[in-house]
Structure 1
Amino acid sequence: MKSVEERYTRGVKIQAVIRFVVCLVITVISLFPIYIILINATRDSGDIISQGISLLPGGNLIKNFETLNDPSAADGAFVSAFNLFYGYANSLIISIGATVCAVFFSGLTAYGLVVYDFKLKKAATTFILAVMMVPMQVVSTGFLQFMVQIKLYDNFIPLIVPAVAAPAVVFFMLQYMKSSFPLEIVEAARIDGSGEFMTFIRIALPILKPAFAVQAIFQFVANWNNYYTPSMLLLSNKIEQRTMPMMVAGVLGNDKIVDFGVKYLVVILSILPIVVIYLCLSKFIVKGVALGAVKG
């Protein structure tokens, strides 16, 4: 008979294989659509229509990019709907600005709720959770009217500044700090004469870097993909002010544009910054999970 230790070891190996297979299947399912879009961006529109899905890249990537920037292509429909420089610049300004505001001020709010004790602490936390349940669409009409009244429409300010109030980020940072932030180090900093704000900047921020990085990824992706709010506030709809999602919608929804290779190329160009940001910050997700597990 096999010993208990041998059976246990075999069971652990089987579980490891099953987990690996499941993760591999999920990874393939997640990446396959992106791979197909990338492949189609290199193909001719006629091949996409006649042959359907292909796993091999084509040779039309440069031609598709030239067509995208050709003023005469599709009667000028491409250049009137899409401009790579303005799309990247506008979306980066909004996404980076909103991400910095959301992550920094939400972290500061969560820090105050964790470190300080005051009478309305529980009420403030409950209020933040309640606001988190309210979708943007519910207050969008009133928000638009308010922005029009104070003459802040048709610019990026109302797309960046309101990010300082991000209840979902506050909630995440609050839970993270409760499990992984040592309050003793704050007391030690106070004894050494450090001010409250500088304690947050010099001590809390480095410790909470994994949590900030995780939320930075989520906030950047959310703001980069945001079509609803910019299309509502940028009323003039000038190409110099359009974000990348607005330009993608303009290309995909234009009846004059029938070149599918170029359409797929536009989609790929729109998601490149998201991939870069994720690759740069994803390591902090693992660090954050590991830190929380050790602390727990």
Structure 2
Amino acid sequence: MTKWKLSKTMLYVITGIITVITLIPIWLAFVNATRSTNQILQGVSLLPGGHFIENYKGLIEKGFNLAGGFLNSAFIAGASTMLGVYFSALTAYGIKAYNFKHKDKVYNLILLLIMIPAQLSFIGFYKYMVMLGFVNTYIPLIIPTIAAPATVFFIKQYLDSVFSPSLLEAARIDGAKEFYIFNKIMFPLMKPALATTGIMTFVGTWNNFMMPYIILTEQEKYTLPMLVQLLKSDIYKTDYGAIYLGISLSLFPVILVFLMFSKQIVSGVTAGGVKG
């Protein structure tokens, strides 16, 4: 019993240390958002400063369009998340529930695509978008998220633990159509995996800088990460306080989304583990 308590205490200590290490960079970003450039250059501080209003005015003076960047990022991230999660779940369900020719090869191809860095396709992808006339539009930033190999893999792994062929057969006997079975029965069953992959997709899309930087050319369509990058354009003086404030504002929606769905993820994964 004593050994169990010791192991449990060590687990809490290690988890606490990892949590602190993870939160320190985020906290420092928020703290620096309230400090002046001179204070930031003097060294690290864990206590907030009194220059928040000054830094916010610096953002406005530099033309930082907070509302426009937020709406652009929210639209791209929201649309990408909904499309990516739904069609990835549909693909994972099709691989798990149906038997078809070359099924294993298709799944192995998906695993292979996970290991290929996205940066390798930037040049070819950009040329293809130029040919289609989609440059400076949100289409190349949203539609390709439908093909998300990592999301398909994650949901497929979850289905391996909760999928019941008898449930599928019972629905078919009752006369349910295939898409009805997926949308009304299987899709809600995948809720824990969908919440997890949804957060990962949203965060990844929200923080994505390189692809929007390649595709978008008009500043009115820029996302928040792109607008933050513009704050470094002054070659004579860099306003680090304003930059950190811009970074903090871009981090806030991501943290909010995680706090909203983290409890659902933990409880859902626990329920899935019990079923398994």
User: Normalising by the residue count of structure 1, what TM-score does the alignment of the two structures yield?
Assistant: 0.89
Q: What is the rounded CA distance, in whole Å, between the counterparts of 2:106 and 2:35 in structure 1? A: 55
1:268 aligns with 2:248: yes
Superposition misfits of 4+ residues, deviation over 6 angstroms: none
The amino acid across from 1:271 in the alignment is L
| 2:92 maps to which of 96, 100, 110 | 110
Higher mean C-alpha displacement, 212-221 vs 116-125: 116-125
| 2:54 maps to which of 57, 60, 63 | 63
> Contact 1:221–1:274 (CA<8 Å) still a contact in 2?
yes
Tell me the CA shift for residue 257 of structure 1. 4.7
Query: Aligned residue for 1:37?
Result: 29
Q: What is the rounded CA distance, in whole Å, between the counterparts of 1:273 and 1:111 in structure 2? A: 30
1:24 aligns with 2:16: yes
1:96 aligns with 2:78: yes
What are the superposed Cα offsets for residues 95-152 of structure 1, whole Å, 9 maximum, x if unpaired? 1111111100000011111111112211211121122222211122111111101111
The amino acid across from 1:118 in the alignment is F
Q: What is the rounded CA distance, in whole Å, between the counterparts of 1:242 and 1:66 in structure 2? A: 20
Q: What is the rounded CA distance, in whole Å, between the counterparts of 1:288 and 1:43 in structure 2? A: 40
Higher mean C-alpha displacement, 184-193 vs 10-19: 184-193
| 1:245 maps to which of 222, 225, 228 | 225
What percent identity do the matched residue pairs reach?
42
| 2:5 maps to which of 9, 13, 32 | 13
The amino acid across from 2:254 in the alignment is I
Tell me the CA shift for residue 207 of structure 1. 1.1
> Contact 1:95–1:220 (CA<8 Å) still a contact in 2?
yes
Q: What is the rounded CA distance, in whole Å, between the counterparts of 1:258 and 1:189 in structure 2? A: 63
Q: What is the rounded CA distance, in whole Å, between the counterparts of 1:187 and 1:256 in structure 2? A: 69
> Contact 1:251–1:257 (CA<8 Å) still a contact in 2?
no
Number of residue-to-residue matches in the alignment:
276
> Contact 1:83–1:239 (CA<8 Å) still a contact in 2?
no
1:228 aligns with 2:210: yes
Q: What is the rounded CA distance, in whole Å, between the counterparts of 2:210 and 2:160 in structure 1? A: 34
CA shift in 2, pair 1:10/1:62, >3 Å: same
Q: What is the rounded CA distance, in whole Å, between the counterparts of 2:264 and 2:7 in structure 1? A: 27
User: Normalising by the residue count of structure 2, what TM-score does the alignment of the two structures yield?
Assistant: 0.95
> Contact 1:86–1:239 (CA<8 Å) still a contact in 2?
no
The amino acid across from 2:192 in the alignment is P
Q: Secondary structure at the match of 2:271?
A: helix
Q: What is the rounded CA distance, in whole Å, between the counterparts of 2:122 and 2:38 in structure 1? A: 42
| 1:199 maps to which of 181, 195, 213 | 181
- The gaps in structure 2 that reach 5 residues or longer are none
Q: How does 1:66-215 map onto structure 2 within 5 Å? A: 66-70=57-61, 78-79=62-63, 82-215=64-197
Q: What is the rounded CA distance, in whole Å, between the counterparts of 2:127 and 2:3 in structure 1? A: 62
Q: What is the rounded CA distance, in whole Å, between the counterparts of 1:255 and 1:266 in structure 2? A: 18
Query: Aligned residue for 1:48?
Result: 40
1:277 aligns with 2:226: no
Q: What is the rounded CA distance, in whole Å, between the counterparts of 2:134 and 2:25 in structure 1? A: 39
Q: Secondary structure at the match of 1:43?
A: coil
Structure showing greater radius of gyration is 1
The amino acid across from 1:58 in the alignment is G
Tell me the CA shift for residue 39 of structure 1. 1.1
- Superposed CA RMSD in Å reads 1.4
Q: What is the rounded CA distance, in whole Å, between the counterparts of 1:289 and 1:210 in structure 2? A: 6
Q: What is the rounded CA distance, in whole Å, between the counterparts of 1:188 and 1:256 in structure 2? A: 70
Tell me the CA shift for residue 256 of structure 1. 4.6
CA shift in 2, pair 1:257/1:186, >3 Å: farther
The amino acid across from 1:195 in the alignment is K
